[in-house]
Amino acid sequence: MKGLAGRIIGVIVVLIGVVALIFVMLRIIPGDPASVLLNEHVSQANIDRLTRTMGLDRSLPEQFFGYLAGVLHGDFGRSYYIQQPVSNLIMEALPFTIKLTLLSIAFAWTFGIISGVASAMYNEHIIDYLFRGAALLGISVPVFMVALLLQYIFYFRLSIFPLTYDGSFASLILPAIALGWNSAGSIARLMRSELMEELDAPYMDTAKAKGLSYRKAVLVHALRNAALPVISLMALQLSGMLSGAVITESIFSIPGLGKLALTALQTRDMPLLQGTVLFTAFLIALGNICADLINTLLNPRLRTG
Amino acid sequence: MKKEKRQNAAADILRACLKNKAALIPGIIILIVIALSVFGPLLTHYDETSQDLLNRLMPPGNGHIFGTDELGRDVFTRVLYGTRVSLLVALLPTALAVAAGCAAGVCAAEFKGATDFIIMRLADIMLSIPGMLLAMVVLYTLGGSLTSVVISLVLIEWGGIAVVVRTATLEIRESEFVEAAVSTGAGRFRVMMRHILPNLVPTLIVLFTLNIPSSILSESGLSFLGIGIQPPDVSLGLMAGSSRQYLFQMPHLALAPAGMIMVLVLSFNFLGDALRDILDPGRRTL
Amino acid sequence: MTVKHIYMIALIAALILSGCGAGAGNTDTSAQQDAAASQTAGAQADNADSGLLRGALNADITTMDVHKTSNDYMVPMNIYDTLFTIRKKDDGSTEIVNSLAESYDLSDDGKTYHFTLRDGVVFSDGTPLTAKDVKFTFERILTLPDSAQTDYAIPIDGAQDLLDGKADSLKGITVEDDHNFSITLSEPYAGFLASLATPSASIYSEKIVTEAGDDFGVLPEKTLGTGPYIVTEWTRGSGLKFEYNPRYWGEEPSVKRVELSIMEPQAMNMAFQKGDLDILDCLLIDSAIVKSIYKTDAYKDHIVSIDRMGTNFFMMNENVEPLNNVQVRKAIQMAIDRESILQSIYDGDGQLEDGIYPTGCLVYNKENQGWLKYDPEGAKKLLTDAGYGDGFDMEICLDTSNTDAVQNTVQVIAQNLNDIGIRANIRSVDHASYLDLRNSGDMSSYLALWLLDFNDPDNIIYTFFGNKDNTKTRSNNYADDAVIARVTAAKTIVDETERNKEYAALEKKLVQDDAVWVPMFSLKHLFVISDRVAEFTPHWAGWSDFYFAQTELK
């Protein structure tokens, strides 16, 4: 329990650090939100007027502590650009990102584990080569190329899936594959190598000698032992996925958090960017804690340690 | 005497790699790619930036092995030069990130307490911001260029490395020979330099090799978003990214840089895996 | 042995990948067959989707409130109305026609306009339009802190005081009754009616805007106008949906519903060929792709082309050494191979421009054309004479949010300059940094485009050279105060002959004598329309945004 409380304090410290970091960086970054808003029809007088309205003429510490105080009261400020409370915008975008991330995690895990197990069991067989080839493509091709190829093959050539997100479940499948393939590849490779090691372990011979079928031996014993490192890897991948979502959401026009953060950054919409980054960091921290809990549950040795 | 032993260790690693096909083959491929990018200019009589507007987007042939790009530049030549930049973007930031991560990790493990807390929370902060966003903030601040891509990749990567190095250092510190050294009254700095760092080397080598692929892929992602390496400089990621419009009508434009990215990423991955098996720095989900 | 296999797998994988690609490469014709096949599919869908028009945007809009954007006009053009609109005549010239204004007359001093509003116009929630709403609209333009459209209200008498907070209401607009009002300008301004015809001057309802508060322009159900369409859905980052406004005062259009999806250019290209898009904006796609896919027998009857009323230009900052030397700027004018850029990057779809006002603009003067020739040798000589025989370092700023074509053009310009010994470096920055740098007056040089908002020379020349503030925010820092004063004064010339003469003289002075910029070209804007579209009328100035109601479906 003490461990958990420590973790939570750590998370809070980290989240404040994230806000501070983004806050400072955004003030160094060139590009003034007032200029972006006014765009082409610009004059110095208008810029000055707008800067005052946004409160950007206040001192930095004043702005920072003002923001922190707001956040503690659940007020993340208003977006400069979209003129709505940041929390509303995040809540609007969140479901899309959650759907996309869950689906791509599902894809990565299913594909990664199945192909890892299959290639370990059918070592050096054609099945092994096919699955390993797919895994290798996933880890070596940039996400955006995978996304474009998927669009080309499954929309343009085969007309199976929609080109971009249109609200339907089917239109989330291609982005989920594009986003999850890289993780799937890593999981498959790790699963395969862990499992191969387990299959060589002496206890497998014992298991077989005891009369367990090969398949059952793999599933019951080897898989359980091989699972631990794989689960740790899966937890680490959440951050990578939220990062990859920036590109995937752009290509497939998904109105999620990644796209929101990208717009916020491009328009120097400081409240919105601070809000989205803070929220994403929170999600990642949550993911890490969950992974730790799962690890502890699965591995009794860690519980005492 | 200890120094001699370390040299022997380096030679041992090299010998083991030469014997191990899993390390040798990707190693050779990487060396070939490096050679290609260094001696590339000898293989082509085109200039990587010279334009030929009348012959833009030509298919392969007519003296252009991979055809020409949207400004009539020879794609083969550009792949050679792009590989040079991409290798630089792969090796330099990864090396810097490993150095920074190593320093941070060792310090955290050595000094414990507040130092440990601060360094590790800093690492957590970096790890909690999606890498792509963090890199974009840096790139927008500094403007797109080779230097700023290097800086942003170091920022993304050091945190993860620091975490692994810290765990490894703690493990080494608990080992008998370090405890023995401490008990003989060796100073903290001496223990660090003589005992801990040498024993971290295998971990660092593996971390270095395995982080290179992600540097290459991150660079290509940033270039796709239009904020990484900027023209007239050329990198594999930039070439692949800017060919997106032509991907299906003129696939040769994307294929050469994308193929080179694949070769590099896979080779470094396999080399890293093989090195991990050879050096066996312990299981820490590297 | 495992390693060998791993590499075989990698090889196979690469082959699969290249197989996909190579398959695509040889299939220009099969793509067309696909397209033909899907066009029949499109025809089947026609019954279910009758009245539906499907378009695409390459980036999401930021707001539906036109007072807060100078960029996103697609929605305002279709959900609001303006007092007048502009129509392109068959001979290519434009005329101003009544829209919400039924009639107007102008006082003898050229300063006071009296308007009568069209009878029976209501907003899409039933609120009737009155003259008070017009006054409210212009006051809002001036008092909104983040107003992007103050230029459109500034000519009105008392506007500056309201903007500066020295007045509570706009003195220049007098409401006589529900349908009659007059607008008094501080000085005569020949372009005023035309400026009222831009989406920037869309008329809002005081009641609707006040009740909506901050939600106006953000929530579709609260963002209502008198225009032919209502936005029914806006999914940020994904797309917009429109429906016909049954309370619209004008003729019922053929397009009843519209879906605009946000997608990347290569996706638009695929979607159009599959029959999932009705209008494709070719300027977003490389001209080589347009040529190989659409300028073919299969599609050539589906191409709609309009001359864009906008000048592409290369601006040089006179505060930057040695661009402050007029000989150097003239050398740069001669060094850029505009014809090659037009022919290669834009496949010849456009024409060279040698001045400020684009072809088709009022006061466009043929005598100021044809003088600028590509002459690298002459440029080198000019440089040598100016004392820069060894060249110099120069920076070209590039906004990375630009289309690929613009980015390619900048690379060619840099190469052209390198050819005469100027070491031109491209500095790529994102849109926000770009605007900031340009507004600060410190940007060395940049390639940009000005598309006319309304057909009047003032719209372009004033923006760049109209006052000190403008020359700074456009980073040209043009130094001749006498010329700047003349640009400002030209606004108020009412006599047409005199006006034409003065604007032509200013153009010659600025571009030919003082070499303020390198005029590049004006482009044709090509669109491809699907089989479902009978007639498509682009915006008169060739914008990407268009009026849905002017499109006829089959």
pLDDT tens readout for residues A57-112: 777 788 888 888 888 888 888 888 777 889 999 999 999 998 999 999 999 989 99
pLDDT confidence band for C48 (50 / 70 / 90)? low
Selected residue of B238, B245, B252 to mutate for chain C interface (largest C Cβ count, 10 A): B245
Q: Residue A2: its pLDDT value, please?
A: 54
Q: Between B19 and A168, where is the model more confident?
A: A168
Angle in degrees, CA B24, B26, B27, rounded to 5: 60
- The chain-wide mean pLDDT, for chain B, equals 85
The partner residue sitting opposite A247, judged by closest CB among B129, B224, B269, is B224
Q: Is C15 on the interface with A (CB under 8 A)?
A: no
Rounded average pLDDT over C355-367: 92
CB atoms within 10 A of CB B181: 16
Give the three-class secondary structure for C486. Answer: helix
The set of residues, in sequence order, having a beta carbon less than 8 Å from that of A84 and lying 6+ positions away, is A78, C214, C218
Find tokens 């459209």 and name the residue.
C149
Q: Residue B46: its pLDDT value, please?
A: 85
Contact check, Cβ <8 Å, C288/B232: no
Rounded average pLDDT over C339-353: 95
C235/chain A closest Cα distance in angstroms: 7
Least confident of A229-233, B221-225, C7-11: C7-11
CATH of range B2-283; options 3.40.190.10, 3.40.50.300, 1.10.357.10, 1.10.3720.10: 1.10.3720.10
Residues C46, C43: Cα–Cα separation, whole Å: 5
By C-alpha distance, the chain B residue nearest A250 is B225
By C-alpha distance, the chain A residue nearest C430 is A266
pLDDT tens readout for residues C404-457: 899 999 999 999 999 999 999 998 888 888 988 998 899 999 999 999 998 999
Q: Residue C27: its pLDDT value, please?
A: 37
Residue C8 has pLDDT above 60, yes or no: no
What is the length of chain A?
305
Rounded average pLDDT over A257-281: 88
Residue A117 has pLDDT above 80, yes or no: yes
Residues B239, B254: Cα–Cα separation, whole Å: 7
Share of chain B above pLDDT 70, in %: 94
C424/chain A closest Cα distance in angstroms: 23
Distances in Å between the alpha carbon of C242 and those of A10, C128, C259? 48, 22, 6
Q: Are C189 and C179 in contact (CB under 8 A)?
A: no
- Distance from CA of residue B61 to its chain's centroid? 34
* Paired tokens of A21: 């970091």
At position C513, the amino acid (one-letter code) is D
The set of residues, in sequence order, having a beta carbon less than 8 Å from that of C229 and lying 6+ positions away, is C78, C79, C242, C243, C244, C245, C258, C548, C549
Give the three-class secondary structure for C350. Answer: strand
Q: Is C264 on the interface with B (CB under 8 A)?
A: yes
Contacting residues of C for B273, CB less than 8 Å apart: none
Q: Are A97 and C237 in contact (CB under 8 A)?
A: no
Q: Is C145 on the interface with A (CB under 8 A)?
A: yes
Contact check, Cβ <8 Å, C263/A253: yes
For chain B, helix (H) and strand (E) counts, in that order, are 11, 0
Selected residue of A28, A46, A161, A265 to mutate for chain C interface (largest C Cβ count, 10 A): A46
B197/chain C closest Cα distance in angstroms: 32
The set of residues, in sequence order, having a beta carbon less than 8 Å from that of C48 and lying 6+ positions away, is none
The partner residue sitting opposite C13, judged by closest CB among A47, A137, A155, is A137
Contacting residues of B for A193, CB less than 8 Å apart: 273
Q: Could you say which residues from 22 to 51 on chain A have a Cβ atom under 8 Å away from some Cβ of chain C?
A: 29-47, 49-50
Q: Are B285 and B19 in contact (CB under 8 A)?
A: no
pLDDT confidence band for C270 (50 / 70 / 90)? very high
Contacting residues of C for B149, CB less than 8 Å apart: none
By C-alpha distance, the chain C residue nearest A128 is C9
Cis upstream peptide for B232 (omega within 30°): yes
Rounded average pLDDT over B142-163: 89
Give the three-class secondary structure for C438. Answer: helix
Find tokens 């991979």 and name the residue.
B66
Residue C136 has pLDDT above 90, yes or no: yes
Q: Residue B282: its pLDDT value, please?
A: 53
At position C133, the amino acid (one-letter code) is D
The partner residue sitting opposite B144, judged by closest CB among C22, C414, C428, is C428
Residue C50 has pLDDT above 60, yes or no: yes
Angle in degrees, CA A58, A60, A62, rounded to 5: 65
Residue C11 has pLDDT above 60, yes or no: no
Q: Which of C74, C342, C87 lies closest to C227, judged by CA?
A: C74
Where exactly are the structural domains of chain C?
18-58+228-304+546-553, 66-215, 309-524
Q: Residue A54: its pLDDT value, please?
A: 73
Contact check, Cβ <8 Å, C17/A53: no
Q: Are C466 and C481 in contact (CB under 8 A)?
A: no
Residues C378, C288: Cα–Cα separation, whole Å: 32
Residue C35 has pLDDT above 60, yes or no: no
Q: Between C533 and C41, where is the model more confident?
A: C533
Residue C74 has pLDDT above 80, yes or no: yes
Range among B167-171, B189-193, C515-519 rated most confident:
C515-519
Distances in Å between the alpha carbon of A287 and those of A291, A292, C3, C226, C292? 6, 9, 35, 50, 49
Q: What is the DSSP string of C353-378?
A: --SSSPTTSTT--GGGSS-----HHH
Residue C10 has pLDDT above 60, yes or no: no
pLDDT confidence band for A42 (50 / 70 / 90)? low
The partner residue sitting opposite C3, judged by closest CB among B21, B140, B250, is B21
pLDDT confidence band for C379 (50 / 70 / 90)? very high
Residues A158, C490: Cα–Cα separation, whole Å: 60
DSSP state of C454: S
Contacting residues of B for C411, CB less than 8 Å apart: 51, 71, 231-232
Contact check, Cβ <8 Å, B25/C3: yes
Q: Which of C308, C428, B1, B224 lies closest to A251, judged by CA?
A: B224
Contact check, Cβ <8 Å, B128/A136: no
Q: Residue B6: its pLDDT value, please?
A: 53
Q: Are C123 and C208 in contact (CB under 8 A)?
A: yes
* Paired tokens of C240: 């917009």
Q: Residue B31: its pLDDT value, please?
A: 93
CATH of range C18-58+228-304+546-553; options 3.50.50.60, 3.40.190.10, 3.40.50.300, 2.40.50.140: 3.40.190.10
Residue A256 has phi, psi (to 5 degrees) of -100, -170
Contact check, Cβ <8 Å, A30/C264: no
Q: Residue C81: its pLDDT value, please?
A: 96
Cis upstream peptide for B257 (omega within 30°): no
Q: Residue C315: its pLDDT value, please?
A: 97
Q: Which of C124, C116, C113, C115 lies closest to C79, judged by CA?
A: C124
Query: Which other chains touch chain A, taking contact as 3+ CB pairs less than 8 Å apart?
Result: B, C
* Paired tokens of B58: 């030509």
Residues C270, C31: Cα–Cα separation, whole Å: 10
Q: What are the E-state strand segments in C169-264?
A: 173-175, 180-184, 229-235, 239-244, 257-262
* Paired tokens of B203: 């971990």
Residue C33 has pLDDT above 80, yes or no: no
Q: Residue C44: its pLDDT value, please?
A: 43
Residues B61, C18: Cα–Cα separation, whole Å: 17
The partner residue sitting opposite C400, judged by closest CB among B144, B247, B254, is B144
Contact check, Cβ <8 Å, A148/B247: yes
Contact check, Cβ <8 Å, A148/C266: yes
By C-alpha distance, the chain B residue nearest C18 is B255
Share of chain C above pLDDT 90, in %: 74
CATH H-level superfamily of C66-215: Dipeptide-binding Protein; Domain 1 (3.90.76.10)
ipTM of the complex: 0.84
Least confident of B101-105, B109-113, C65-69, C250-254: B109-113
Pairing of strands C173-175, C303-307: unpaired
Q: Residue B173: its pLDDT value, please?
A: 83
Contact check, Cβ <8 Å, C436/A260: no
pLDDT tens readout for residues C277-319: 999 999 999 898 999 999 999 998 999 999 999 999 999 999 9
Query: Which other chains touch chain C, taking contact as 3+ CB pairs less than 8 Å apart?
Result: A, B
pLDDT tens readout for residues B250-274: 888 888 899 999 999 999 988 988 8
Range among C139-153, C397-411, C508-522 rated most confident:
C508-522
Contacting residues of A for B221, CB less than 8 Å apart: 142-144, 244, 247
Residue C30 has pLDDT above 70, yes or no: no
What is the length of chain C?
554
Q: Residue A51: its pLDDT value, please?
A: 76
Residues A183, A187: Cα–Cα separation, whole Å: 6
By C-alpha distance, the chain A residue nearest C27 is A157
Contact check, Cβ <8 Å, A35/C238: no
Residues A214, A220: Cα–Cα separation, whole Å: 10
B49/chain C closest Cα distance in angstroms: 9
Distances in Å between the alpha carbon of C234 and those of C189, C221, C237, C357? 38, 10, 9, 37
Residues C505, C500: Cα–Cα separation, whole Å: 9
Residue B9 has pLDDT above 70, yes or no: no
Distances in Å between the alpha carbon of B134 and those of B87, B149, B156, B189, C380? 22, 11, 7, 34, 45
- Order of strands, sheet of C180-184, starting from the edge strand that comes earlier in the sequence: C101-106, C112-117, C180-184, C173-175
B143/chain C closest Cα distance in angstroms: 6
Contacting residues of A for B258, CB less than 8 Å apart: 141-142, 145
B243/chain A closest Cα distance in angstroms: 10
| Topology of the domain covering C309-524 | Dipeptide-binding Protein; domain 3 (3.10.105)
The partner residue sitting opposite C270, judged by closest CB among A29, A151, A249, is A151
Q: Between A4 and C210, where is the model more confident?
A: C210
Contact check, Cβ <8 Å, C473/A43: yes
Q: Which bin fits B265, alpha (ψ -120 to 50), beta or left (φ > 0)?
A: alpha
Contact check, Cβ <8 Å, B133/A143: no
pLDDT tens readout for residues B31-51: 999 998 888 778 888 888 888
- The chain-wide mean pLDDT, for chain C, equals 89
Selected residue of C141, C233, C264 to mutate for chain A interface (largest A Cβ count, 10 A): C264
Contacting residues of B for C437, CB less than 8 Å apart: none
Residues C140, C169: Cα–Cα separation, whole Å: 10
Pairing of strands C393-399, C423-429: parallel
Rounded average pLDDT over B232-247: 87
Per-residue burial over C340-355, b = 16 or more CB atoms within 10 Å of its CB, e = otherwise = ebbbbbbbebbebbbb
Q: Are C283 and C526 in contact (CB under 8 A)?
A: yes
pLDDT confidence band for A39 (50 / 70 / 90)? low
Where exactly are the structural domains of chain B?
2-283
Q: Is A144 on the interface with C (CB under 8 A)?
A: no
pLDDT tens readout for residues C520-550: 999 999 999 999 999 999 999 999 999 999 9
Q: Are B253 and B12 in contact (CB under 8 A)?
A: no
By C-alpha distance, the chain B residue nearest C286 is B245
